[in-house]
Amino acid sequence: MYPPVGRGPTLAAMTDVLRRGRASLAFCFFAQGVAFALLVTRIPAVQNRYGISDALLPVFLAAVPVLAGAGSVATERLVRRTPPSRVLRWSQPLALLALLGVGAGDRMVQVAVALAVFGVAVGALDAAMNMLGVSLQRAYGRSIMLGFHAAYSLGGILGASLAWAGAHWGPALWVSYLPVVGVLVPAVLVGSRWYVDTRDRERDGTPEAAGDTGAAGAAGAVGGAGAVEDAGAGAGAASAVGAGDAGKDAAGGIGFRMLLPLCLVMTFAYIGDSTVSNWSAKYVQDVLGGSERMATVPYNVYMVTTLVGRVLGDHGVRRFGAAAVVRTGAVTAAAGFAVVAAAPGAWAGMLGFTLLGLGLCVLVPQTFAAAGRLAHERYGPGASDAAVARLNVFNYVGFLIGSPLVGALGDAWSHRGAMLVPMALVLATLVHARSFGTGADRYGDRHERSRTVDVGRGGHGL
């Protein structure tokens, strides 16, 4: 039995568990955004420090996403035996320490090892933090995934700003990394106490806080509240659990056909993102005639509008549904590429990069959320984590393909024409938008399920 919704200390404690879990996971996303931005924006400094040739640099840069993909695949297998929160708790500090190692060495073999460790750790933590985000969204019963990715974007902006300050004032690379790593490592370790794992005990409706055993009893009501909120949803969950119990290895039974549309969307989204990340500065300066200083603006515009879009995106999903938001994002991003391709000058190009940030920002978080939901509904507990890990590999595929593809097309054809290719790929997302929402998504008020906790009158709303 569960206490009446809206009354009792168990409900209040349950609400606190979810809130702490959400806040700690948002900080994890933020810290990862800081770390990744600090690395990618200081690549020239890394190259100069270790004397890496222009011919060898692409090998180093490609190795990071390749190893990250391997880390994501390994995480899929690892979380069958250990909770994602535990993987995240140790992979994130490892990635931060590897970042410090990138700046602290003086031989090429040292930077190679540091980048390899960083890549594997990033793949594990990217997969694990999105697993927790998807499962926490399921516990909340409403869209919160875009908020986590907004924290990542905010961290990226801060990391890029810190990297600019380091490049401007000129301290050694390890000196600029050390204070950031010194603050973030203990912070993420402390925050990991409040990660919320829902997968392991979803079969009996009692997810628990990852690092706070004292809250386990309270957290046990999380799944209960979800069962109380909707008898129909409870029956569906029971069916899914039965499916999971029938084949203990639900993760291994996930069909690639189910994930294929979402894998394509993830790849297309990251092709678009890597195009902006790698080519916006050169495009503004060489094609649109902007100054060197102006060439630094479009990526900043893109990051800020990505943050704004993600901050507002969850509200759009709750009101209009995930499929509608994804369609709107795809059309907006395609319009952005079209404006960039046709822009007569640098300032007109900024409008295109603004649209790109607002459009692309919703695709990746919603793709993770859709994969987790579909796998959970079809295969039961445990399948969601496997789906997220497999899908996560395709963000690195898109990252690897995007920049070389646009560069090769620009050299062989036209830089303006090259922008039409990611435009077409992003538009192809419209074909797969149905995968982001079905009738089963539209519960509660419009497209949003009744909130997990705040359906009562006790004032303990999330």
Q: What pLDDT digit, counting tens, does each position of 344-401 carry?
A: 999 999 999 999 999 999 999 999 999 999 999 898 877 999 999 999 999 999 999 9
The pLDDT, as a whole number, for residue 178 is: 96
Confidence of residue 228 (pLDDT cuts 50, 70, 90): very low
Alpha carbon distance 33, 125 (integer Å): 12
Confidence of residue 446 (pLDDT cuts 50, 70, 90): very low
Rounded to 5 degrees, what angle do the CA atoms 266, 272, 275 make? 135
Alpha carbon distance 104, 145 (integer Å): 35
Q: What is the mean pLDDT of residues 187-196?
A: 96
> What is the token pair recorded at 262?
């979402």
Residue 74: which of 393, 398, 423, 459 has the closest Cα?
393
**Which pairing describes strands 208-209 and 196-197: parallel, antiparallel, or unpaired?**
antiparallel
Alpha carbon distance 80, 75 (integer Å): 9
Instruction: Give pLDDT tens digits for 278-330.
Output: 899 899 999 999 998 888 889 889 999 999 999 999 999 999 999 999 999 99
8 Å CB contact between 375 and 387: yes
Q: Which residue has the higher pLDDT, 54 or 203?
A: 54
The pLDDT, as a whole number, for residue 458 is: 33
Alpha helices by DSSP H, 321-419: 322-342, 346-360, 363-379, 383-412, 415-418
Alpha carbon distance 227, 315 (integer Å): 24
8 Å CB contact between 420 and 337: yes
The pLDDT, as a whole number, for residue 210 is: 54
The pLDDT, as a whole number, for residue 355 is: 97
Mean pLDDT, the chain, integer: 83
Instruction: Give pLDDT tens digits for 165-190.
Output: 888 888 899 999 999 999 999 999 99
Alpha carbon distance 140, 368 (integer Å): 16
Q: pLDDT at residue 460 above 60?
A: no
8 Å CB contact between 211 and 86: no
Instruction: Give pLDDT tens digits for 429-442.
Output: 999 999 997 543 44
Only one residue has tokens 């594997």, namely 120
Confidence of residue 253 (pLDDT cuts 50, 70, 90): low
Alpha helices by DSSP H, 192-296: 216-219, 221-229, 231-246, 256-282
